[in-house]
C-alpha cells in the first residue's frame, strides 16, 4: 500500500479484527455503479466542481459539492470523477452508500493496492479517498480520457476478480 495519508488512516481505523463484509455484493454494486459512472463521464466531464447542472432557462452552473443531496439530479450535464460515481449510484439506487464500493474500487485501482474493493471503509477513510480521487481529477493536465481510463481499469479489475 502506498505511503499516503489515506493508507495510514486505513491502517489505523480498519484493524484486521473488523468482521469481513460480503465481497461478491460489494463487487456487484461497484461494477454496476462504475458502468453508470462511465456513461455520466462520457456525456460530460468537469473539473473543480462535482457537478454542472442546466437550469430551466438553459444556463449551466456549477453545483455545490459539499451538499450534493441539494443537486437537482435530473439536470446534471457533467460531473467530475467523484460526482459521476455519486450520480451513477443515484441512477441505480436512492441510497448514497450504494456508490461507496465504486469509490473504493477506483481508489484501490488508482493507487494499485492489489485490492479490488476491500472491506467497508469508515467515514474518515472514505472521505480521504474522496479527497484523493477529487485531487487527482482536478489536476490541470488531467483529461476526460484519463478519467475514463481509470474507470475502465477499475471495471476490468473487478470483472476479472468476479470470474475467479
pLDDT value of residue 158: 93
Contact of 54 with 46, CB cutoff 8 Å: no
Chain-centre distance of CA 19, in angstroms?
24
Residue that wins the pLDDT comparison between 17 and 14: 14
Contacts of 66 (CB under 8 A, 6+ apart): none
**20, 27, 81 from 16: Cα distances, Å:** 9, 20, 30
Kindly report, residue by residue over 120-162, the tens digit of the pLDDT: 889 999 999 999 999 999 999 999 999 999 999 999 999 887 6
Q: Evaluate whether 88 touches 36 at the Cβ level (below 8 Å).
A: yes
List C-alpha distances in Å: 100 to 43, 75, 125, 127, 142.
22, 22, 11, 11, 23
pLDDT at 118: 85
pLDDT tens, residue by residue, 46-100: 999 988 888 888 888 777 655 555 666 778 899 999 999 999 999 999 888 899 9
* pLDDT for 17: 36
Q: Please state whether beta strands 60-63 and 76-79 pair in parallel, antiparallel, or not at all (unpaired).
A: unpaired
Amino acid at each position: 500500500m502506498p505511503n499516503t495519508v489515506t493508507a495510514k488512516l486505513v491502517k489505523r481505523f480498519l484493524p484486521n479484527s473488523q468482521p469481513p463484509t460480503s465481497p461478491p455484493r460489494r463487487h456487484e454494486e461497484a461494477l454496476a455503479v462504475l458502468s453508470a459512472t462511465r456513461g455520466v463521464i462520457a456525456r460530460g466531464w468537469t473539473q473543480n466542481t462535482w457537478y454542472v447542472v442546466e437550469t430551466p432557462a438553459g444556463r449551466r452552473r456549477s453545483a455545490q459539492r459539499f451538499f450534493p443531496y441539494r443537486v437537482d439530479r435530473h439536470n446534471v450535464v457533467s460531473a467530475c470523477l467523484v460526482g459521476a460515481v455519486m450520480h451513477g449510484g443515484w441512477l441505480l439506487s436512492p441510497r448514497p452508500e450504494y456508490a461507496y464500493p465504486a469509490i473504493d474500487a477506483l481508489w484501490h485501482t488508482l493507487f494499485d493496492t492489489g485490492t479490488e474493493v476491500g472491506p467497508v471503509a469508515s467515514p474518515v477513510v472514505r472521505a480521504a479517498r474522496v479527497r484523493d480521487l477529487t485531487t487527482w481529477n482536478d489536476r490541470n493536465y488531467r483529461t476526460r480520457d484519463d478519467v475514463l481510463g481509470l474507470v475502465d481499469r477499475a471495471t476490468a479489475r473487478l470483472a476479472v476478480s468476479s470470474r475467479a
